[in-house]
Amino acid sequence: MLVIKDLHAKIDDKEILRGINLEVKPGEVHAIMGPNGSGKSTLSSVLAGNEKFEVSDGHVTFNDKDLLALAPEDRAREGLFLSFQYPVEIPGVSMVNFMRTAVNEHRKYRDEEPHTASEFLKLMREKKKLVEIDSNLTNRSVNEGFSGGEKKKNEIFQMAMLEPKLAILDETDSGLDIDALRVVANGVNKLKSENTSTIVITHYQRLLDHIVPDFVHVLYKGRIVKSAGKELALELEEKGYDWIKKEFED
């Protein structure tokens, strides 16, 4: 589904990703962990198509297409979802209208008829129930005045609505409160299927108590320096990152 080969990316001539290799197959859940400043968020930004970062080498395919050649919106329409895909606040535009436009754009890309108002509302009710989102969030303007936790819940709702093939969730460094953590974990687990994959990016192990990954990777100084099963997350929780830093110091 996703194949990343020797990906290098820089900003202002500073190389941040220094040769990332990663393969994600349908049905898999991967966790990317690592100390602050390793390049975790940079990796998701590059995959999203954020133009701040310059890809200086390497290749990424998504569903056998050259991902880096696609415009950001086409990456989304191909079924890639990034947790900060819609981080902006849009006063005056309700979540309902915003999501209806987004869902119908995705449908159009797949040559499917747009949802009628009642079909859309039905879908929204189902997904809200599935991910346990309070109804008042979706009546408000997009992200306007949302708390960090509410934005995170909203993202999970957007993810449920858009039914991506691959979701990349970057847990912000500020972390999530217990309630938001539960919603994120719950959403990911409920949306999991044999055809869809998830990459969870996290600094801390605690999210992985709730979302059990098939693979855990440690990103350090722009490279994946270690990959293993879920036990690696527990080892990191216990021992911290110092041993990784010592082992892979330049």
Answer yes or no whether residue 34 interacts with ligand ADP by CB under 6 A: yes
Residue with tokens 């408000």: 140
CB of 36 to Mg ion, least distance (A): 4
**Which of these ranges, 9-17, 62-70, 207-215, 242-250, lies near ligand ADP under the rule CB under 6 A?**
9-17
- With CB under 6 A as the contact rule, the residue among 29, 41, 85, 202 that binds ligand ADP is 41
Beta carbon nearer to Mg ion, 39 or 213: 39
Answer yes or no whether residue 42 interacts with ligand ADP by CB under 6 A: yes
CB of 45 to ligand ADP, least distance (A): 7
**Which of these ranges, 36-44, 114-122, 185-193, 240-248, lies near ligand ADP under the rule CB under 6 A?**
36-44
Q: Which of residues 104-163 bind ligand ADP (CB under 6 A)?
A: none
Beta carbon nearer to Mg ion, 36 or 116: 36
CB of 20 to ligand ADP, least distance (A): 12
- With CB under 6 A as the contact rule, the residue among 7, 24, 39, 196 that binds ligand ADP is 39
Binding site for ligand ADP (CB under 6 A): 11-12, 16, 34, 36-42, 52
Binding site for Mg ion (CB under 5 A): 36, 40-41, 173
